[in-house]
Amino acid sequence: MGAVRAWSPERAGEVIAEHAGVRGPLLPVLHALQEEFGYLHPDAVPLVAKALNLSRADVHGVITFYSDFRTQPPGRRTVAVCRGEACQSRGGRDLAAHAQQRLGVPFGATTPDGEVTLDQVFCLGLCSVAPAALVDGRVHGRLDAGALDSLVQP
């Protein structure tokens, strides 16, 4: 993952303009904003709505439908543990429970110190090297509790 910038309405306007020209621009625009700032700032909603001639409700509805879009800044590091059936067959349930216990937060939450955001993901397509997780945007397979811990350690 690249470095993210602090929220800036001016920069947001530029990002929106870069992606507004395609057919059906809303998802590409939201992805680009999240990549730029790490999350979708509440002030982004009216900016996007105005630029794309949508209602704020439309934009809000799309942001809340898709689990990728964050409305809070993520932790410095991100961990997503796969919960799919193939990973379950190789101890994925235990790994998912371990990750939540070890970090002390449920899926979808960030540790109180702002260090790690823990998410669940339903399949990374690494089903033949299960169980798998995505740590800071990098794929890892054949994991167990110890291997996941060493990846999450700074």
Alpha helices in 20-84 (DSSP H): 26-37, 44-52, 56-65
- Taking CB under 8 A as the binding criterion, the range among 2-10, 39-47, 66-74, 95-103 that sits at the site for another protein is 66-74
The CA-atom distances, in angstroms, between 103 and each of 54, 77, 100, 112, 150 are 39, 12, 5, 10, 13
Give the separation between CA 22 and CA 86, rounded to whole angstroms. Answer: 37
Q: Which of 94, 122, 136, 144 binds another protein (CB under 8 A)?
A: 122
Binding to another protein in span 80-99, by CB under 8 A:
84-90, 93
Would you say 3 or 23 has its CB closer to another protein? 23
What's the residue count for the chain?
154
Which residues lie near another protein (CB under 8 A)? 22-28, 30-31, 52, 58, 61-62, 65-69, 84-90, 93, 121-130, 132, 134, 137-142
